[in-house]
Structure 1
Amino acid sequence: MSSRLEMHHYETIVAVSDTGSVTAAAGRLHVSQSAVSHRLAEAERRLGGRLFERRPSRGMQPTPAALALCQAAHRAMPDLGRAERDFMRSVGGTTATVRIGVGSYDCYHWLAPFAAAANERLEGLLLELVVIGDAPAQRLADGTADLVLAPGPAQGTNEALHVFTDELVLVTHPGHRLASRSWIGPEALAEEDYFTYNRQPSPGFEYERFLRPSGVSPRTITVLEQTGAIAEMIAADFGVSILSRWAMSPWMDTGRLTAVRCGRSGLELEWSALMRAETDDDAPERQVANAIVAWLGDPKHS
């Protein structure tokens, strides 16, 4: 019997199942929320039953009848993706496609210079950028990404190659009252409007290491899931945040943002190239990871 659903239906089912949200699934698939809702409705119409139900504490979850279908889609999608890449390698000049994501930060200012510099070393490898948000371990596990450049402690059982040492800094408008300080303590944020990109604090970042031990909380906290949007709001003097100095360097280099050290000794932030633990020594993603380490590990580029 021929399948009643098409590839885009299964992609949508996997995205909603993974994220528990139509909004988050739309972001992963780079389509509108209405497109995701339309695909789900069409899939349910073709199959004759509901695929998901909304649970207050867990978001969109597969119905009991749809659970096996969701699990099969999870297994099949990565296999199909690999089969497509194998086919393209066999008929074209590209030997492999490596999907790269950046954890936590939507910062890609390094990618084009890196690709140009590493072109000969990575001959035959196609670099494909994927958006992964704040869950690099999950995106590696489900096959969304092959390699993740990620800040902070490594998550899960993935292999981590150290790339460079960065710093978490208070990011402000150049005219902000704190911008001229050489460093700040947590108490300086008590009267500030604060932006963050994640709803739950990540281990090893500013909340755990700087704010929570002091018991200080900013006056207001606003969640914006895109760090680029946070940078623009701070550049317009709507608030402050604690972010990666390197990730914010495009705004700082143009004078739109200012960085202030957090604490006298600062907050170091390690960046790593994450791969699945079973990655072979000669795998394409390891070749790219080694090239990233060599490129960004050079102080001129980090």
Structure 2
Amino acid sequence: MILSHHPMSIDHAFLLRVHIMLERIHLAILSAIEEQGTLTQAAETLNLTQSALSHSIKKLEGQIGTPIWEKQGRSLRLTSAGRRIHALSRRLLPQFEHTELLLKQIAKGEMGSLRIGMECHPCYQWLLKVVAPFLEQWPAVDVDVRQEFQFGGLRALFDYEIDMLVTPDPLFKPELEYFPVFGYEHRLVVAKSHPLAEQQWVSPQQLSNEVLFTYPVEPERLDIFSQFLNPAKCSVRQHKVIETTEIMLQMVASGRGICALPGWLVQEYESSLPITSLRIGKQGIQKDIYLGIRKGDEQIPYVSEFINLAKKTS
């Protein structure tokens, strides 16, 4: 039995009518219907017979007094009521699965697992320096680093796909907690042959004729735009997206354009590539790397200890 009240996406009056009879299986059925489209495929996904699946939903429809889905040819379409229950399932089912996983680990004598999402591709080498001593101190905790979330991990954190997010650009939400772990300077990177290479710092106007390479992140989340170009009402000649740091710096070294990266990362490549960096603006752009978690998870001992270790590892 599920009691849930969420002001953002679920109508309270509707939930007050259904919370007494709404069960996890209903959430699973509607999620499968929405994903699979047909009763047959949904039943196969859930290892149920079609009749059992239909009976469960018909009973719920009778209790709440409104249909949950409608037939459209061979497919099923969720009604307004069905869509509201499905919205609830998208939030609660991952939490059920996450809790069940933890319970299974406890039953096996394991303490748990820490799934880390990366929104900071250059931070991977730094993270390894934190993971190594953590694994020594917590032998019963497994660690998994998932880089597929490097350009959009917030949703994964909300959906319990990861337990911690490494990011230089936190989006502060009431349900989340962010911990700054180390600071750095964001630097403009140019080829050593570039006209700007001899300068100590650059003004926004000086980039108006440049090709700027960035990671595939929304421009409003890129510091060179939000903290430098946009306030000065300036822009670049062209903005191109590249996913990998190595290729980005190769393009810069060949004189194809410029980019902005953490100063500590640029230093690692300056010895092997003809590149240099300069301050973005006279004062520069100072940044922090954050660890983001769901609020309350800092009370889990091994999560708290991982954050403490991260703060000590520059």
TM-score normalized by structure 1?
0.69
Distance in 2 (CA, whole Å) between partners of 1:217 and 1:125 is: 47
What percentage of residue pairs aligned between the two structures are identical? 20
2:67 aligned with 1:49, yes or no? Answer: no
2:141 aligned with 1:125, yes or no? Answer: yes
Conserved in 1, the CA contact under 8 Å of 2:219 and 2:226?
A: no
- Return the offset for 1:167: 1.0
Conserved in 1, the CA contact under 8 Å of 2:210 and 2:238?
A: yes
Structure 2 counterpart of 1:101: 117
Structure 1 counterpart of 2:208: 190
Distance in 1 (CA, whole Å) between partners of 2:206 and 2:284 is: 15
Letter in 2 for 1:139: A
- Return the offset for 1:97: 0.6
Alignment equivalent of 1:179, drawn from 197, 201, 205: 197
> CA 1:155–1:257 in 2, change beyond 3 Å: closer, same or farther?
farther
The structure that is helix-richer by fraction is 2
- Return the offset for 1:45: 6.9
2:132 aligned with 1:116, yes or no? Answer: yes
2:89 aligned with 1:72, yes or no? Answer: yes
Q: After TM superposition, list the pairs within 5 Å mapping 1:205-216 onto structure 2.
A: 205-216=223-234
Structure 1 counterpart of 2:164: 147
After superposition, the C-alpha distances for 1:267-294 in whole angstroms (9 at most, x for unaligned) are: 1012222222222434322221111112
How many residues align? The count is: 255
Letter in 2 for 1:49: S
Structure 2: give runs of 5+ residues left out of the alignment: 1-24, 43-73
- Return the offset for 1:73: 3.9
Alignment equivalent of 1:219, drawn from 222, 231, 237: 237
Conserved in 2, the CA contact under 8 Å of 1:273 and 1:293?
A: no
Structure 2 counterpart of 1:34: none
RMSD: 3.6
Letter in 2 for 1:155: F
Letter in 2 for 1:275: I
Distance in 2 (CA, whole Å) between partners of 1:193 and 1:45 is: 52
Alignment equivalent of 2:310, drawn from 282, 292, 297: 292
After superposition, the C-alpha distances for 1:93-132 in whole angstroms (9 at most, x for unaligned) are: x421111123354531123232223332233221111232
TM-score normalized by structure 2?
0.67
- Higher Cα radius of gyration: 2
Letter in 2 for 1:126: D
- Return the offset for 1:141: 2.2
Letter in 1 for 2:115: R
- Return the offset for 1:191: 0.9
Distance in 1 (CA, whole Å) between partners of 2:100 and 2:270 is: 43
Distance in 1 (CA, whole Å) between partners of 2:167 and 2:101 is: 27
